[in-house]
Amino acid sequence: MMKIKSLLPLLILSLQMSAQDTTAPRTASQERLFTLEDLNFGGNNYHNMQPQNKWLTWWGDQLVRTDVEECYLVDKKTGKESLLFTLEQVNQWIQSDDDRFVRHLMNATFPYADKPLVALGNRRAFILVDFKKHEVVWQDSISGQTANDWNSCSKATAYVDEHQLYVVDAEGRKHQLTTDGSREIVYGQAVHRNEFGIMKGTFWSPDGQRLAFYRMDQSMVADYPQVDIFPREATYEPDKYPMAGMTSHQVTVGVYDLTTDKTIYLKTPMGSVLGDSVADPRPVYFTNIAWSPDGNTVYLFELNRRQNDCRLVSYDAKTGQRIAELYRETSDKYVEPLQPIQFLPWDDSKFIMQSQRDGYNHLYLYNKDGKLLSQLTKGPWVVMELIGFNLKQKAVIFKANKEHPLHHRLYSVSMKGEIKQLETVDGVHQATLSPSGNYLIDKYSTPTRPRVIDLVDVCKAPKATPLHLLEAADPWEGYQTPVFECGSIKAADGQTDLYYRMVKPADFNPDKKYPTVVYVYGGPHANNVQASWHWASRSWETYMAQKGYIVFILDNRGSQHRGRDFEQATFHQLGQIEMQDQMKGVDYLKTLPYVDMNRLGVHGWSFGGFMTITLMLNYPDVFKVGVAGGPVIDWKWYEVMYGERYMGTPQNNPEGYAKSSLIDKAKNLKGKLQIITGYNDPTVVPQQCLSFLDACIKAGTQPDFFAYPGEEHNMRGHASVHLHERITQYFEDYLK
């Protein structure tokens, strides 16, 4: 670790110099200026300003490039492409008409390594096309469904229609699994408000003969009164929204057997979902559902409402009976299971479990009875993703920030714990592994390289040179590109390294003074600074730099990918440690002669909106202008799962809630503050903003307020362009 730290300043200096060198010969008269139509994801020209990309997928160990109108087979030795089929051919083979046609091939998949079959979707069906025989070999006929989940082994599809859960088998027979589904009884969809890594609600067994699914009873949860203002008479469209310390929903897990057409429910112990029973040790959260390779056992993590007692439990998929508790992890703060266990494909008696029990998220090898066999990875770094397995080498492929917190690299680890790096370039990597694990598609970027795609032979890496498939040109060539820099400072504890990004105008002059905006998020499960293109800079920062601002971004303690203690430093006192660290960033800005401390602003969204107002009210003489989007004002109005994990409940942590609340601090507002929200935000409900406005009215302070009708937590489509122009204009009006 000492070696990494000693090399970092040289790396940063080198990349800073590189970024500055690229701007040296440019003149403003020769270069184009950006607009938000170029930079914002909702902009009309945004797609043209993105680095070139290739969409690649696997057909067994064969590499396929998909495009809008063609699919190509890619030679793994030379990169040479040969046409597999075209969109026109597919629509001829399936005899498309105006209603039944495939619109593009970008999402084509090849589910069978040994068969020339491509899986495609059209407006009315999901189809398998034999591209050698030129015919449809199978299709479903489901339309209008949600939560669609198809299994390639059984060809059965699970889906939800009119609140009920159905399965259609390979022969097209329709099986209705539920009859009491409603807005209040939810089947087959994500539960627990997508916390704990939950992104869906149906889970097929490996052979596709059994389906585990969530049932969520939220009839006891209070409605939040959202309103649709667009009809002639506004209509009531409430959201179920369980607030911290209040009554939550109740979840159970069902298992449907396709061979018997029967459903059973796992006999899980159920704790209280009531707000006054948070101390109940029984589980209320059920997450990370996994199957045994033979499809006879269901595994899930069970978590109590305080989220400090987590257990991995196995259940009989035939009877629903509890088999065993395989693992238990407790904490004086919280335990957060985010990934299901994964069985070794070459040994179905062992599985990999992820945990940060030693302070960092790592991989552990267990046998199926719950005996720990070994800790496969270890050290002061984080395993960020288990990508898959290499069957030939019997190794696990994973992504981690082992070399440095800002670099996301690719590795394999053997069952003996021997780690091998799979690529040789610093940066931020993403991998797509072939089914055998012999090859991976490595998409990565560095601070000065927008996008690179390599094909890596896992068995030969890192000695063999990867096949270079793409080196994207700079799509911003010819535009006035800012100077992007990265560095580190010490946290408020005087010991912990915090990393920042600074964005300066293209014609930056160190002898001038610049208005400066601190962009902040600061909350869990996010970080802003990475060693990807432009140090992961948001495009809005480029827009602000073009207008003559410096933008400063610091990842404080509480953000992700730095280990358990770094993340949990904010426990029960959200906003406090984060604020201390952000003010260390301000102290650093004070040392820079080109930062005009009389023109310092702050902006953030969601947790960053909370941090923006927190900083404005606690340091009213430091920050002159702020723009807070979708801000939490008081955590008692936030939802149960996230809120109670980090803050407990208002009942058991009244001091923490009082300290973090912004209501009683409304009187401190001195600078110009604009608050923005989506009028129908289901995440940070409008009650938060409106309550703060009421507090400001009572205190006699004067924030500005803007709402986007019909929008949720983040502005969608072209509304995002409008939003960022509004944010920019506020700083132009009051900071510049």
By CB atoms closer than 10 A (0-12, 13-18, 19+), residue 35 is middle
SS (H, E, C) 74-111: ECCCCCCEEEEEEHHHHHHHCCCCCCCCCCCCCCCECC
Q: Could you give the count of Cα atoms lying within 13 Å of 471 in the half-sphere of its Cβ?
A: 5
- Angle at 559 (CA atoms; ends 667, 545), nearest 5 degrees: 75
- The whole-angstrom separation of Cα 154 and Cα 529 is 44
Kind of pairing, strands 514-519 and 595-605? parallel
- The whole-angstrom separation of Cα 664 and Cα 221 is 28
445 in Cβ contact with 533 (< 8 Å): yes
351 in Cβ contact with 344 (< 8 Å): yes
Which DSSP string corresponds to 621-644? TT--EEEEES--S-GGGSBHHHHH
Encoding tokens for residue 250? Answer: 């109740």
Write down the catalytic residue from 539, 606, 660, 720.
606
Active-site residue flag, 606: yes
Encoding tokens for residue 386? Answer: 């288990």
Place of tokens 């897990």: 253
Other Cβ atoms closer than 10 A to 617: 22
The contacts of residue 403 (CB under 8 Å, 6+ apart) are: 4, 409, 426
- The whole-angstrom separation of Cα 726 and Cα 593 is 29
Kind of pairing, strands 672-678 and 704-708? parallel
515 in Cβ contact with 596 (< 8 Å): yes
Active-site residue flag, 681: yes
407 in Cβ contact with 385 (< 8 Å): no
Give Dmax over CA atoms of the chain in angstroms.
Answer: 78
Quick check: helix, strand or coil at residue 696? helix
Place of tokens 């009877």: 319
Neighbouring-strand partners of residue 153: none
Length of the chain: 736
107 in Cβ contact with 124 (< 8 Å): no
Write down the catalytic residue from 429, 442, 681, 720.
681
SS (H, E, C) 107-161: CCECCCCCCCEEEEECCCCEEEEECCCCEEEEECCCCCCEEEEECCCCCCEEEEE
Active-site residue flag, 532: no
188 in Cβ contact with 214 (< 8 Å): yes
- The whole-angstrom separation of Cα 390 and Cα 171 is 34
Other Cβ atoms closer than 10 A to 425: 15
Encoding tokens for residue 433? Answer: 């592994």
Kind of pairing, strands 239-240 and 223-224? antiparallel
Cα dist. 471→265, 383, 441, 451, 706 in Å? 51, 27, 14, 6, 42
296-299 contacts at long range (C-beta below 8 A, 24 or more positions apart): 297/323, 298/212, 298/253, 298/255, 298/266, 299/326, 299/340, 299/341
47 in Cβ contact with 39 (< 8 Å): no
Place of tokens 């107002």: 613
Write down the catalytic residue from 67, 152, 223, 713.
713
Quick check: helix, strand or coil at residue 676? strand
Would you name the residues annotated as active-site residues?
Answer: 606, 681, 713
